[in-house]
Chains A and B, each alone.
Chain A
Amino acid sequence: MNDMKMLWQLYWAFLRIGGLTFGGGLTMLPMLKYELVEKKNWITEEELVDCYAIGQCTPGIIAVNTATFVGYKKKGVAGGIFSTLGMVTPSLVIITLVAACLENFMDNVWLQHALMGVRGIVCALMLNTVITLARKSLVDGFCCVMCGIVLLICLLTDIPTILIVVVSAICGIIWGKIREAKL
Chain B
Amino acid sequence: MMQTALELFWEFFKIGLFAVGGGPATLPFLMELTKVKPWYTMEQLTNMIAISESTPGPLGLNMSTYAGFQALGLFGGLVSSFGLVLPSVIIIILIARFLDNFSQNPYVKAAFYGVRPAVTALIAAAVLGLCRVSLFVERNGNLTPAVGSVIIAVVVFGLLQVKRLKKFHPALWFLVGAVIGIVFRL
Contacts and interface: CB of A to CB of B under 8 A. Distances in A.
Interface in B52-107: 52-62, 65-66, 69-70, 74, 77-78, 81-82, 84-85, 87-89, 91-93, 95-97, 102-103, 106-107
A62 B181 CA distance: 34
B127 A127 contact: yes
A18 B114 CA distance: 30
Main secondary structure of the interface of B (DSSP, over half): helix
A94 B55 contact: yes
Given A169-B114, A173-B111, 13 more contacts: A22-B170, A54-B102, A95-B69, A113-B184, A117-B149, A119-B149, A122-B50, A133-B119, A138-B117, A150-B121, A154-B125, A168-B118, A171-B118
A173 B106 CA distance: 9
A59 B157 contact: no
Given A25-B22, A115-B181, A59 B16 contact: yes
Given A58-B95, A116-B148, A173-B111, A122 B88 contact: no
Interface of B: 14, 16-24, 26-29, 32, 46-47, 49-62, 65-66, 69-70, 74, 77-78, 81-82, 84-85, 87-89, 91-93, 95-97, 102-103, 106-128, 130-131, 134-135, 146, 148-157, 160-161, 169-171, 173-174, 176-182, 184-186
Top 10 closest pairs, chain A to chain B, by CB: A172-B114, A117-B181, A24-B58, A120-B152, A168-B118, A176-B110, A154-B125, A60-B88, A91-B57, A150-B121
A177 B56 CA distance: 42
Nearest to B103: A53
Contacts of B186: 113, 116-117
Majority-rule SS of A interface residues: helix
**Interface size grouping (class) on chain A:** 35 or more
Given A24-B59, A95-B62, A118 B92 contact: no
30 contacts: A23-B23, A54-B103, A58-B91, A58-B95, A59-B19, A59-B20, A59-B87, A61-B26, A61-B85, A64-B84, A88-B85, A90-B57, A91-B57, A96-B77, A115-B178, A116-B186, A117-B149, A117-B181, A119-B134, A120-B148, A123-B130, A125-B170, A144-B117, A147-B124, A150-B125, A151-B124, A154-B126, A168-B117, A169-B115, A173-B111
A121 B156 CA distance: 7
Interface string A72-108: 1100010011001001101110111011101000000
Contacts, number: 377
A64 to B, nearest CB: 5
A90 B42 CA distance: 25
Given A20-B56, A121-B153, A160-B32, A88 B88 contact: no
B182 A80 contact: no
Given A99-B69, A125-B173, A164-B118, A19 B57 contact: yes
